[in-house]
Structure 1
Amino acid sequence: VVGRLGGDEFAVIVPHGNLAVINKDARRLLDVMRAGKSHEGKIVPLSISIGVALAPAHASNTTELMLLADLALYESKAGGRGRVTVFDEEMLSDKRYRRLVERELRAAIYLGELDLHYQPIVDTDRSTFALEGLVRWRHPVRGLISPADFIPIAERSTLIDMLGEWVFRRACADIAHFPGLRISINVSGEQLKRDEIVTMCDRVLRETGRLAAEFIIEITETVATAATPEILKRLEA
């Protein structure tokens, strides 16, 4: 039985399955996805991450089984996608909280619960020459959440890419309200490890009609000092 849970997540129920059979089937599915699908005459590569939990070995009810499979899926995504991970007891430390925050943050992006706050960047003559965009999360229960509480969790998976695109799109929309100023955007070191950031920036600029010169990409000193040639190439792009 296969069912869609929401977004890009699906659940597969295998009755009377044992771990060896499930692992074999899951890896076969990974291979099929890696082979890609034909679209308009071109092969489009695809990737998935799989989390596995067993009943009754890991859980005795449906709700708990789904939670444990979800934790295993989180581990697969954190490991770089294209992996199969079977639930392990060690995942029940603080990962349950992190996974909850990740799921809520993903929903917050779609539901419009994020804000981009701006603070001025001043020159030596105290004139404002740019604005720094800082993302905030308006949680319906916990109120305004600082990025320090959710950015590190987003960085443990590719959710940071989705969040980064939301921030850049919002900045592109807002900059029209600040003529003569540029907007500075914080970019995570995890984003810079993947080529997607360059593709995303080009796409968003093209779709919004904004210019790259209107924005400043800001990175931390730690990221700058540890930058690899690949990261420097992406920054130059």
Structure 2
Amino acid sequence: MKTIVIFGAGISGLSAAHELARLGYKVSVYEVADQPGGFFRSSRLRQNNMPTEYSWHGMGPWYHNAFDLMQQIPFSEKGSIYDMALSRPLDFGIFPDNDKAKFYDGLKSIPNMFRMNRWEFVKWSYLMMKTWTSNNRSKIKYDKLNAAQAWKPLLKETANKTWRSCFGPWIGSDWPKVSLQTAGDFFKKQLTSKPPHHHKADQDGPAWTQDAGIGWLLFKGPSNEYWFDPWVTYLKEMG
């Protein structure tokens, strides 16, 4: 039997080990840290056992490969990580300093969320659709354009500042750094992703579905305890 060595026990390393083990290979994973998970890992403070995370880790409706993987990993005798460890969707919201909080409630709610008038929304939508339908040449061009700067001429100051404020917590990068291509691709996946992901009823309520436009999921606890530790245990059992 061939043996494969993987350096790094983050998501990529463990995913590679997972797939190779399923194919029948003997796999050894080496990690310099004292726990798996890479930048996704969690830890607990020694003084009070408080769980901490490197960052918040939401999972959108297009995380198809991650959800497929979680369905294969046992969490307990009651079900898989997908069944037992994921939260229900979190609502997306915008919270201006001097205005009421506004939450996403379908495409019709976008102008109100980002404080756009109708004409601003038309222009905003036009540029968004250009990123969704661009060919490869345009994608290369859009990847060199800053998203906030591209939308700035189309929006008034209030709408522009509100719109770009979501780039950090949602897209995962500060607005001065996000390209037009990255922003467009993010919202295309968020608003059009298929197929939906179905979840069973649990102690929090009836069965539910994470579909396009729906809020993201979190783990119900620290990522190491709710994903990486069960995953490593499962990989060891596979050899």
**Length-normalised TM-score, structure 1:** 0.22
Larger RCO, structures 1/2 (Cα 8 Å, 6+ apart): 2
Q: Greater strand share, 1 or 2?
A: 1
Q: TM-score, normalised by structure 2?
A: 0.22
